[in-house]
Amino acid sequence: MSLQGKTAIVTGAGRGIGKAVAIKLAQEGANVVVNYSSSSTYAEKTAEEIKSFGGNAVICKGDVRSMEDVEQMVKTAVDHFGPVDILVNNAGITKDTPIVKMSEKDWDDVLDINLKGAFNCTKAVAKMMMKRRSGKIINITSVVGVMGNKGQANYAASKAGMIGLTKSTAKELASRNITCNAIAPGFIQSDMTDQLSDAVREEYLKSIPLKRLGTPEEVAAIIAFLVSDAANYVTGQVLHIDGGLVM
Ligand code: NAP
């Protein structure tokens, strides 16, 4: 499952799932651009960890909402490591509140980062991948994009949108040997799920057949497989990593 010499961009790779993905891809031999928007210290730590085992990483500040930032991030990747082979659209936020109380800003912020950000990054690497007739794109959606969730209309809409984006990208780019798949994690240990109250967490655990939260490393392992040659014939899929929550 070697990714030796491949250039990978992982958005939001300073913490949580993005960090685990960056480290796993580097362990498989990829040269990784560790993107962050505000947590420079965390991004530096991710890059240091990669370098500690002999991997290659460069950190790159950039807000995925901004096409200018995204183009700069792609330029950083090309300048340091060469054309982009792998893009993991991981950056994401939540701003949970019931629809009747949800501000326009809370709606826009979540849609802009989660969905428009993934579109911006995909657009920025697509031409390069098309010319080279190869590439792997992973969009991190969520079980919430499939099931919906109370208090998460903005988040669920953004994640459902990412599934549409994934399938359209897969269809548009397949003739150039580029695959695009989505990962739908359930409840994974991270800063995002640390915000849940104990009561909510207990309630969720009851509905997960495997009776535990997943780890970022368990998500990263599946992504490393999907961006490897072993998964060359898989595209347009939504793979659930959720302990059996959705089946
Ligand atoms: P997290 O720990 O809160 O990390 C979110 C990451 O997104 C951070 O690295 C953050 O970087 C980055 N980010 C936020 N806004 C950004 C922007 N405008 N531009 C670039 N990067 C930005 O979240 P996580 O749990 O690891 O989640 C990662 C992804 O998995 C998200 O897309 C999330 O929706 C999805 N997911 C998570 C779970 C779960 O249970 N944890 C379940 C399903 C799906 P900065 O700190 O630098 O802003």
pLDDT in tens, 75-110: 999 999 999 999 999 999 999 999 999 999 999 999
Ramachandran assignment for 211, one of left (phi > 0), alpha (psi -120 to 50 degrees), beta (any other): left
At 221 the pLDDT is 98
Percent of the chain with pLDDT over 70: 100
CB–CB of 223/138 below 8 Å?
yes
Q: Is 66 in the pocket of ligand 1 (CB under 6 A)?
A: no
Q: Which atom of ligand 1 is nearest to the CA of 191?
A: 2
Q: Which atom of ligand 1 is nearest to the CA of 15?
A: 9
Q: What 3-state class would DSSP assign to 108?
A: helix
Residue keyed to tokens 């991997």: 55
- Round the average pLDDT of the chain to a whole number and report it: 97
pLDDT tens for each residue of 52-74: 999 999 999 999 999 999 999 99
* pTM assigned to the model: 0.98
Rounded to the nearest angstrom, the distance between the alpha carbon of 12 and the centre of ligand 1 is 6
Rounded to the nearest angstrom, the distance between the alpha carbon of 233 and the centre of ligand 1 is 28
Cβ atoms within 10 Å of 235's Cβ, excluding its own: 21
pLDDT tens for each residue of 193-219: 888 888 888 988 999 999 999 999 999
Rounded to the nearest angstrom, the distance between the alpha carbon of 191 and the centre of ligand 1 is 8
Q: Is 113 in the pocket of ligand 1 (CB under 6 A)?
A: yes
Rounded to the nearest angstrom, the distance between the alpha carbon of 18 and the centre of ligand 1 is 7
Computed on alpha carbons and rounded to an integer, the radius of gyration of the chain in Å comes to: 17
Q: Which of 143, 192, 207, 217 to mutate to test the pocket of ligand 1 (most atoms within 8 A of CB)?
A: 192
Q: Where are the alpha helices (DSSP H) in the chain?
A: 16-27, 40-52, 67-81, 104-110, 117-132, 143-147, 153-173, 191-194, 198-207, 216-226
At 204 the pLDDT is 87
